[in-house]
């Protein structure tokens, strides 16, 4: 999961995931 987020470092939402916030990534991914 982190690998995909790192690939899309273009999106600020993915950056939150790396920080530990999976709440904003949930709707963004789905």
The answer to whether 13 touches 24, Cβ cutoff 8 Å, is yes
Alpha carbon of 29 to those of 10, 11, 18, 25: distances in Å?
14, 11, 14, 6
Model pLDDT, residue 12: 61
The full set of domain ranges for the chain reads 1-30
Alpha-carbon distance of 18 to 22, in angstroms, equals: 9
Q: What length does the chain have? A: 30
How do residues 1-30 score in pLDDT, each as one tens digit? 555 555 555 566 655 556 565 555 555 554
């Amino acid at each position: 999961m982190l690998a995909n987020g790192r690939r899309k470092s273009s999106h600020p939402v993915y950056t939150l995931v790396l920080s530990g916030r999976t709440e904003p990534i949930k709707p963004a991914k789905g």
